[in-house]
Structures are given as structure tokens and as C-alpha cells.
Amino acid sequence: MNKKLIFVVVLCFSFLSVILVVLNYKTIRHIIPDSIKDKLPSNILTFHENIMVPLQEITTSVSNSSYFYNVVLLPETHFASINLKRYDFKKKENYSDPIFEDSKTKYYVDLFEDNIFITTFNANIFFTNNNPGENKNEILLSKINSNLNAIKPNLYILDSFIADSQIFISGFQYDEDEAKNCKKFRLYRANLNYQKIKFKEIYNNNECAFAKFMQAGRIQKYTLNDTNGILFSMGENEIDKPNKLPQDDNSAYGKIMFLNLSTLETQVFSKGHRNPQGLIVEGETIISTEHGPHGGDEINKIVKGNNYGWPSASYGTYYNTDKKKYLKSHKKFGFKEPVFTFIPAIGISEIIKIPNKFIGKKDLENLYFVSSLNGKSLFLIKFGDNNERIVFSEKIFINQRIRDLKYIKENNSVILALEHPPELAILKNSGN
């Protein structure tokens, strides 16, 4: 056998070995020594979860006729027939900046008057009419100038929130004067204007976050002891490298914070959070949705002063090692148990409450939509009394990452902020 042939055989064998490892990584990772796993590129996990797992599911569905047992796809759901209409984004006026930095850029949706507001990860703000019509395939966006553009490229948006004719923005900046990868959390507020918005900083956390991901940032209005303010979530994490900040009362990371809108003073509202991607306030009831580690996405009922356990307790696991474990019981160790845990995880994102008229069942109450990123699905959730338990969770497959949700009362519809590619979708009950 000549050297060229040997080289080709070895190359093919090596390539095939790599493919088999990646394809079956979740299955065989338990037998791979940690010393080897530590040297593997971290994106092997992302590649496996986002590419190989869906391929395996497609293969399984084709070969196994019962794979889709009891799976209902749109427009039909268990309770109603629901139509989903997708819209592409198009600029209404000519300007040099693109709407999104790339096809994967995330964005957030808000409602004001008769318009939908779009705030992108790269700090651009747009608006469009909230009823684009059934016969259109595009959403025409008008850009609003703001002083956020002067802060770019160092500011990246984590959430936007509109209330009482004011817009709030959360985000983070890379501090070029500090050590490499120092990220700092920021909050801004401004009066809403369709021509130009002038933001003022209302919270500046000068504590560096060195973890790979700065996340959370959800904002909701809240009144604490007759004081008007906002709740906002702060999170930063890195795969398999949890730190002590969520349990450190001197740090704001891993917390849900309350900010007094008059004095701009803050206080810790709850702690022990990993990455609260969703937050909703309904009267005195506060609910968050939170990314767990490998598995263990949570729905939590937030009570002031409670500790939700991260990084000590989680129903998830480490991604890449079996030597380290999280505590499973929260209550036994003095932490607040989640109302519900998704196992396996769904890549949980936002949560909103919907009225029973959206589903069309008068006796079906206390309903919420929970969205997911990697799960590419909506989940129709019914809470029990006092929001202490989940009665049911119905998966509604959308086949796109869903970053944000809003309910439009005027036309009884739900907006979905879709990613990969960025599209806006409107969900309606076809029976209404």
C-alpha cells in the first residue's frame, strides 16, 4: 500500500471518528476522561445540541412511526385552532445602518399606542403599525434616532420595556479601560418620541462580569411599599463554571433587583438566580422564567427576600463533567423550590399572561405563554391556585427561536419575536 493511500485512509478514519464523537457526544461523554474533555473546544457542546440533536430527531422520526405520537402541529392545538403569520422586516426609509448585524441578531418587542416597537441587540429602535394585515408578507419599519447610537459599538441590548410613555433599556458595555472581556450592566430611561429619543442612565453597575455570557436584563414595572419602581434581572454565566456572585449580597449579579424611580436607589429583591430570561408582574404576583445549566430550566414564583438556590441547587447537570453535582432538593437546603422545571431543558425565554378569550374557553383561566429558544416552541401553561403549581403545559411547535412575546389586547393576538432568521410573527385564534 503506497503512502498516499495510507494517508487517505487515515484521514478518512480520523474524520469519521470526529463525526461519530460529535454525533454521539451526549451518550458517550460519561466515558471520556475529564482531562480529555477539558481540552475539547467548548463549541462542541453548542454544535452537538444545535445541529446533531435535531438531525438525530429527524432520523428517529423517519424510522419510528410512533415518534410523533400525540404531537399536534399548528394550526391545531389541544384547545383551539391557531394561525401563525410570519413577516419579514423591511426598512421604510433609506439609511446606512442595517436593521440587524446579521441573520442571527436578537431583538425585543414592545407596544405603545397603535404601534409595535422593535429594539435590536445592536441598539437600533424602530416602530411599525401593530396590525400589518393578512395579505402582506413584510413589516415596514421606521427608524427612531436615539443617543444610544453614540454609545455603540460598546452597548448591547438585553431588553426594552415601555410603560407610561417611557421606554427603559437594559444592556451591557465592554469596558475598554478595564481588563479584557470586562462587561458592565447598564439601565437607561427616556420619554418616548417618534423622532428622537434621548436616554439618560439610571443605573450603572461598575462590577465587572468576566463570564462568557452577560444575559437576563428583563424589566417590569413594580410598586414596592407604595414606591414606584422597576424590577430588573441580572445574570452572567459560563458553561460549567458557576461562580459565587448569585449568593453574594455585595454583588448584583444573579439577582432580581428593585430600582426606585424617584431616588434611583436599588436593592436586592431576590437572589440565587442563574439567568432569568423572562419576567412578568401581575398585581402582587411576580413570575420569572430562568435558564438552568444542562437541563433544569425553571419557572419561579418570585417572593421578596427569597433565595432560589443557584449555583448550589439545580435540577440540571453539568454539561461536561460527572465529577461535580448540583444539589437537587432546594427546600431541604433552605432555598425556594421552582414552581416547575423543564427536563430536558427547552432554552426558556419570555413569559406573558393571556386572557381566556385568546383560547376561546371561558372556563380556562390563569393561562400563560412561555417561549423557548433552542426548543423553538411556545408552551401554553396553566397555573394552579396562587401560582404555586403548573396544571398543564402544552408544547406548540413553531420551528424558530422565540426571544420575546407581547399580547395585543385590541385584536386579541400575540406577537412573537422570531430569530434565525429575524422575523415577526402574529398568532391568532382562527375561531375568533
Of 44, 202, 195, 118, which is closest to residue 424 (Cα–Cα)?
118
| Sign of the torsion angle spanned by Cα atoms 122, 127, 132, 137 | negative
Residue 1 is predicted with a pLDDT of 56
Across 80-84, 142-146, 320-324, least confident range: 320-324
Query: Do 229 and 259 touch, CB atoms closer than 8 A?
Result: yes
Average pLDDT over residues 229-236: 95
- Residue range 337-390, pLDDT digits in tens: 999 999 989 999 999 999 999 999 889 999 999 999 999 999 999 999 999 999
317-352 core/surface letters (b: 16 or more CB in 10 A; e: else): bbbbeeeeebeeebeeeebbbbbbbbeebbbbbbbb
Q: Which three three-digit cell numbers place residue 27?
A: 451518550
Q: Does position 321 have pLDDT exceeding 90, yes or no? A: no
Average pLDDT over residues 253-277: 97
Query: Do 342 and 329 touch, CB atoms closer than 8 A?
Result: no
Average pLDDT, the chain: 86
Beta-sheet strands, E only, within 164-240: 166-174, 183-191, 196-197, 200-204, 213-224, 227-237
Q: Which long-range contacts (CB under 8 A, 24 or more apart) does 22-25 make?
A: 22/47, 22/48, 22/52, 23/48, 23/52, 23/55, 23/56, 25/52
Strand, helix or coil at 312? Answer: coil
What is the rounded distance in angstroms from the CA atom of residue 129 to the CA atom of residue 127? 7
| Sign of the torsion angle spanned by Cα atoms 100, 101, 105, 107 | negative
> What is the band of 152 on the pLDDT scale with cuts at 50, 70, 90?
confident
- Range(s) of the chain covered by CATH 2.120.10.30: 85-429
Q: Name which residue leads in pLDDT, 69 or 197.
A: 197
> What is the band of 30 on the pLDDT scale with cuts at 50, 70, 90?
low
The backbone torsions φ and ψ at residue 20, rounded to the nearest 5 degrees and listed phi first, read -65, -40
Across 80-94, 228-242, 243-257, 316-330, least confident range: 80-94
| Beta strand pairing call for 196-197 and 138-146 | parallel
Q: Which residues pair with 184 in a beta bridge?
A: 173
Q: Which three three-digit cell numbers place residue 271?
A: 437572589
What is the rounded distance in angstroms from the CA atom of residue 285 to the CA atom of residue 220? 12
Phi-psi region of 302 (alpha: psi -120 to 50; beta: other; left: phi over 0): beta
Tell the residue number behind the cell numbers 423553538, with chain if given.
376
Q: Does position 92 have pLDDT exceeding 90, yes or no? A: no
Q: Name which residue leads in pLDDT, 132 or 278.
A: 278
What class has domain 85-429?
mainly beta
| Beta strand pairing call for 183-191 and 166-174 | antiparallel
Q: Name the residue type at position 102.
A: D
Give the helix, strand, coil percentages of the chain, each rounded to 5.
Answer: 15, 45, 40
- Count CB neighbours of 172 within 10 A: 21
What is the rounded distance in angstroms from the CA atom of residue 284 to the CA atom of residue 333? 26
- Count CB neighbours of 205 within 10 A: 18
Q: Does position 176 have pLDDT exceeding 90, yes or no? A: no
Residue 33 is predicted with a pLDDT of 65
Q: In this structure, what is the dihedral angle of CA atoms 292, 298, 301, 304, given to the nearest 10 degrees?
A: -10
